[in-house]
């Protein structure tokens, strides 16, 4: 596929690895990675570095939550590249479901859970964010990132929910489709943004290249 001439900005979307707390609505609950979670993320980046022959990133941007931030800061120090913590890339807030087990919430609030997964753009967890609300803070941050890092290669460390919302927007999918996207722990996906005279064209290069155990797919 022929692309327009101009700078190409490459952004790798890395989801955090396994976290402490089990299968819960984590959202804004600031829990640490497990040892396995650290290993998963290292394996994903190690696999990408091996494929590229070197660590390719010019900068790292991260959610402020520690399951992303601490790993991003460690990689920044190791790779000798800058790390920026951006509040806009934090995970969505699940309101009254925060910190509770998925199965427990399903049993206690089945109707509301069903409504949320059927229409996540408009429906929200009780006292939480809808995905449209998350999208409203994500997209300006994304546009600023692409402009600030124009022509460079960036590692963006964030969350399953925010990655799904970004992908649905960039691929022109309805936001209701986000619940159909599987984004495993520590998976790496790549977006390239082509720019020619102000015309911006994003393209998905790969999705979930490294899965939870670090195996290439």
**Span 29-81, pLDDT tens digits:** 999 999 999 999 999 999 888 877 788 999 999 999 999 999 999 999 999 99
Residue 213: per-residue pLDDT: 47
Let me know how long the chain is.
217
Question: Annotated active-site positions, please?
Answer: 16, 91
DSSP state of 52: H
Q: HSE (CB half, 13 Å, CA atoms) of 36?
A: 8
Tell whether the model's pLDDT for residue 185 goes beyond 50.
Answer: yes
Residue 199: per-residue pLDDT: 79
Q: HSE (CB half, 13 Å, CA atoms) of 216?
A: 8
pTM score over 0.85? yes
Sign of CA dihedral 145, 147, 149, 153: positive
Residue 217: per-residue pLDDT: 44
Question: What's the pLDDT band for 184 if we cut at 50, 70, 90?
Answer: very high
Residues 82-100 pLDDT 10s: 999 999 999 999 999 999 9
Give the residue-averaged pLDDT of 102-117.
96
Residues 116-152 pLDDT 10s: 999 999 999 999 999 999 999 999 999 999 999 999 9
Quick one: which H or E segment has residue 59? strand 59-62
- Cα 212-129-122 angle, rounded to 5 deg: 100
Within 10 angstroms of residue 140's Cβ, the number of other Cβ atoms is 10
Residues 77 and 79: their CA atoms lie apart, in Å, by 6
Residue 212: per-residue pLDDT: 46
């Amino acid at each position: 596929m022929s692309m327009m001439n101009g700078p190409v900005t490459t952004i790798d979307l890395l989801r955090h690895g396994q976290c402490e707390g089990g299968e819960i609505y984590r959202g804004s609950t600031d829990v640490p990675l497990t040892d396995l979670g650290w290993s998963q993320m290292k394996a994903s980046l190690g696999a990408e570095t091996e494929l590229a022959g070197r660590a390719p990133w010019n900068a790292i941007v991260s959610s402020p939550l520690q399951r992303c931030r601490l790993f991003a800061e460690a990689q920044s120090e190791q790779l000798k590249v800058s790390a920026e913590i951006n509040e806009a890339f934090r995970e969505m807030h699940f309101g009254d479901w925060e910190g509770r087990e998925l199965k427990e919430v399903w049993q206690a609030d089945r109707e509301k859970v069903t409504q949320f997964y059927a229409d996540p753009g408009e429906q929200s967890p009780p006292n939480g964010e809808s995905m449209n609300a998350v999208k409203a803070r994500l997209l300006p941050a994304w546009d600023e990132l692409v402009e600030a890092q124009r022509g460079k290669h960036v590692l963006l460390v964030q969350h399953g929910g925010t990655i799904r919302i970004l992908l649905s927007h960039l691929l022109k999918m309805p936001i209701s489709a986000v619940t159909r996207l599987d984004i495993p722990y520590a998976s790496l996906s790549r977006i390239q943004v082509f720019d020619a005279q102000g015309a911006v064209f994003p393209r998905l290069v790969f999705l979930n290249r490294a899965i939870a155990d670090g195996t290439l797919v």
